[in-house]
Amino acid sequence: GAVVSQHPSRVICKSGTSVKIECRSLDFQATTMFWYRQFPKQSLMLMATSNEGSKATYEQGVEKDKFLINHASLTLSTLTVTSAHPEDSSFYICSAWGRAGEQYFGPGTRLTVT
């Protein structure tokens, strides 16, 4: 199946700083990638759809100025959490469509804001 990687797998940052998370499709090109957030013992919540070469589409209630998404190439999307606060601490997961129409997920990034 398709492989999606994320970096870093875990990050701890101080309140007020910004953190960048990378999502790469390793053996295929992904014109569209998705960013999800998952709080403990809850399901995945779609934050935004990242489109190569154009602006991301954000879900209702997600602040686009706080969660900056850049999809500069067919294999890389980045999510930057700006001015992070403790309530932004969560598990962030990206995904991309595989060749057969299924969606493959990256391993996730656990963000802790102190």
Partner 1 sequence: EDKVVQSPLSLVVHEGDTVTLNCSYEVTNFRSLLWYKQEKKAPTFLFMLTSSGIEKKSGRLSSILDKKELFSILNITATQTGDSAVYLCAVEARSQGAQKLVFGQGTRLTINP
Residues of this chain that bind partner 1 (CB under 8 A): 1, 32, 34, 41-46, 49, 57, 93, 95, 97-98, 100-108
59: left (phi over 0), alpha (psi -120 to 50) or beta: beta
Q: What is the dihedral of CA 55, 6, 107, 4, to 10 degrees?
A: 70
In the complex, what is the shortest distance from the CB of residue 6 to partner 1, in angstroms, rounded to a whole number? Answer: 8
Residue 89, helix vs strand vs coil: coil
Report the residue number, 71 or 106, with the smaller CB distance to partner 1: 106
In the complex, what is the shortest distance from the CB of residue 35 to partner 1, in angstroms, rounded to a whole number? Answer: 11
Report the residue number, 32 or 80, with the smaller CB distance to partner 1: 32
In the complex, what is the shortest distance from the CB of residue 44 to partner 1, in angstroms, rounded to a whole number? Answer: 5
Burial of 7 (0-12, 13-18, 19+ CB in 10 A): middle
Report the residue number, 75 or 108, with the smaller CB distance to partner 1: 108
